[in-house]
Structure 1
Amino acid sequence: MPWSDLEACKPTKATNYKALFFLCIFLCCLVLKFCDGTILMPGVRRVTVSLDVPEQLTVPLFTVSYHSKKCKQSRRDGNFKKYYIDDSNVRSVEPEREEGTRIYSVTVPVEKGWYCDWKLSNIDFKLRYKRNIDIMKGIDETISERITFVFDDHYPRATNGLFEVRHGRSKEIIEEFYPVKTVNHLVGNRVDLSFTGRKSFLTYRFDSDIERVIFRPVLHTGKLVNRVYPPTWGEGEYVQLIYPDGSVDYGDPFPDFERLQIMSNDSEK
């Protein structure tokens, strides 16, 4: 090969600068992708949160929230005075299915570290009915049920401020739910389908050594409660609750969970 051709094959300064430029871009992308601590290094403690998804429900995304006491966010009160709160880092994670089951799980680090020293705060997901099941016929919208697991002293985004404390490194939580069909004549005869359980907000707090939580919802889709709002709020107009056994209550819009449990147990005898 002539010497001139060999010279042409030698890398030029422009080529070197271009390679260096792309290397910098790659490293920046790597840092931006993993600066939240999603690289799980050996020895980093993890928590696995799982949902055993019934056939009637969709598979939800899990929302994972971290908080930092080192990094702060500024806020202003009603007098426009500035104050600071712990910074937060929130992301949605698609759970992975455990082979041969309907259990979907996410595994996340308890401490992500980095500059802000991120620590796991809470994980939540929403239970929601599938659109193609029989109980959804004639329904305009399904109202989801949020389930929240708390791992620190911060309040989650949606809460009534009450927690159930669960001790131990591995916890199985079983909750029962009944469907509620709401016909709202006050809002254009809208028909919604929601859940009712033993509490309006299901929020659980765990010890610092928790390793695994599995949530198993039990659905009694054959025990439908009909809730009917009147066309007006005139005198003598009340919300009706029609229970699965045909009994009717007036006034209280919230189904009696214990009553539903008795009906369900009696039908299984």
Structure 2
Amino acid sequence: MTSVYTSALTVLALSLNGCGQDYSLSPPADSEQITVTVKVPKELKAETMQVMYRSATCKRISQGPSGQRLESDGHHGFDVQLKRQGQSDLYQVKLPKDGGGACRWHLANVIFGVTYADPTRFGENVTAGAGGGVVVIFDYNNSPRGGAGIEVDGDLTIKKEYYPWLKENFLGGYSKRISLVGEGSIYLSYQALQARQVYFEPILHSDFTVYSTQPKVKKKGNHTTFTYPDGSVVADGQSQPDFLKLQMIRTGRDRDCFDVWRYANCPGRRPQLLPDWLPEPDQPGFGRYLIVDEWGNKLPSYFYRLVGENGEVFQGLTELNGRTNPLPESARALSKAEFPERVW
């Protein structure tokens, strides 16, 4: 048992059928490990990880609204600090998948993320706000933050872009917080049943801060004002910044360039062929390539034209998952990959 979680694996005070039992976790020595790694930008810090184990053996007993007996899986939660790996920007924790013990605990979910290490660099009395959170669920239960928004197979790699959001609030008491705004809500949630490696890399664009000021009086027509890095001011009733607008300001690209379904309308679209050859399980001797945009989004129904070293041409439309049609082994050596306008 490593020191990372030894102190956290304490006895959980539950009662089952009125009898005291040992609810402690006791991972077997040969338990599989799930490794969570976070690459932390220099302005941020890794937040404390919330870990939850569940047990179908040791039930939690409660009463329903009519006094009826309700049973649910027992759960055991604790906090863990991610440990810095040497002098690198990687922070990591290893958790046993099998929690062992009389209750036969299993790792159910983890909640972690990043936040600003020194909020006062944005001004006196500025505190750290929300954003930059991740939930990973390893079973079929909800986490304390709800269910999973995305299901993944195998290991999980998350690379997401974030912008600083300095917000000043007046209603309900004054506060000034520095948060992270990214694609989606405060927490990105995933179900990763087979994952043994979880990697999170938040990419912080610290030179593109968006500011918001809440109205001092709550009345119809008063909206929070957002001031974007390009100087534009918007007060359209939204409660958080427009992430795509921030992407557009930073890159100078059109909004359509960041939407996989509208990417074909992007005037400067930049498709690319990933180099990995993906063997086709049901067709020996055949494989596929994956075509994505510059942001890593898979491009469905996208026209490609591949030329082999011997001049053989392979062309068609990508499938919904961005993959080409099955191609023979001769397509592994390419002299050219083109993405012309589709003409049939």
Q: Render the CA deviation track for 1:3-22: whole Å, top value 9, x for unaligned.
A: xxxxxxxxxxxxxxxxxxxx
Give the paired residue count: 232
For 1:85 and 1:141, locate their aligned partners in 2 and report how far apart those are by CA, in whole Å: 38
The DSSP-based 3-state class of the residue aligned with 2:244 is helix
1:103 and 2:90 correspond = yes
1:260 and 2:254 correspond = no
What's the TM-score once normalised by structure 2's chain length? Answer: 0.62
Contact 1:64–1:92, Cα closer than 8 Å, also in 2 = yes
For 1:32 and 1:255, locate their aligned partners in 2 and report how far apart those are by CA, in whole Å: 42
Q: Render the CA deviation track for 1:51-93: whole Å, top value 9, x for unaligned.
A: 1111111232222211001111122233333311110011212
2:29 aligned residue (21, 24, 41): 41
Matches within 5 A, 1:78-93: 78-93=65-80
Structure number with greater Rg is 1
Change (3 A) 1:54 1:79: same
The DSSP-based 3-state class of the residue aligned with 1:235 is coil
Contact 1:58–1:128, Cα closer than 8 Å, also in 2 = yes
Task: State the AA in 2 paired with 1:36.
Answer: L
For 2:149 and 2:220, locate their aligned partners in 1 and report how far apart those are by CA, in whole Å: 39
The DSSP-based 3-state class of the residue aligned with 2:176 is strand
Q: Render the CA deviation track for 1:161-197: whole Å, top value 9, x for unaligned.
A: 34212222x3321011112111112233321111111
1:176 and 2:161 correspond = yes
For 2:142 and 2:207, locate their aligned partners in 1 and report how far apart those are by CA, in whole Å: 35
Q: Give the aligned partner of residue 240 of structure 1.
A: 225
Contact 2:119–2:178, Cα closer than 8 Å, also in 1 = no
The DSSP-based 3-state class of the residue aligned with 2:46 is coil
1:249 and 2:234 correspond = yes
Contact 1:56–1:133, Cα closer than 8 Å, also in 2 = no
Q: Give the aligned partner of residue 42 of structure 2.
A: 55
Contact 1:62–1:124, Cα closer than 8 Å, also in 2 = yes
Task: State the AA in 1 paired with 2:113.
Answer: K
Q: Render the CA deviation track for 1:20-74: whole Å, top value 9, x for unaligned.
A: xxxxxxxxx9x96894124x513x2111011111111123222221100111112
Matches within 5 A, 1:1-269: 35-38=24-27, 40-42=28-30, 44-131=31-118, 134=121, 136-145=122-131, 146-159=133-146, 161-168=147-154, 170-200=155-185, 201-208=187-194, 210-250=195-235, 251-266=237-252
The DSSP-based 3-state class of the residue aligned with 2:247 is helix
The DSSP-based 3-state class of the residue aligned with 1:258 is helix
Change (3 A) 1:76 1:254: same
For 2:95 and 2:171, locate their aligned partners in 1 and report how far apart those are by CA, in whole Å: 44
Contact 2:156–2:192, Cα closer than 8 Å, also in 1 = no
Q: Larger RCO: Structure 1 or Structure 2 (Cα < 8 Å, ≥ 6 residues apart)?
A: 1
For 1:144 and 1:219, locate their aligned partners in 2 and report how far apart those are by CA, in whole Å: 14
Change (3 A) 1:80 1:229: farther
For 1:114 and 1:194, locate their aligned partners in 2 and report how far apart those are by CA, in whole Å: 40
Question: Which structure 2 residue ranges, 5 or more long, are not aligned?
Answer: 1-6, 12-22, 254-344
- CA-atom RMSD, angstroms? 2.4
Contact 1:240–1:253, Cα closer than 8 Å, also in 2 = no
Identity across aligned pairs (percent)? 25
Q: Render the CA deviation track for 1:197-250: whole Å, top value 9, x for unaligned.
A: 111130111132x22111001111211111111111223312211111111211
Contact 1:227–1:253, Cα closer than 8 Å, also in 2 = no
For 1:217 and 1:57, locate their aligned partners in 2 and report how far apart those are by CA, in whole Å: 10
Change (3 A) 1:177 1:232: same
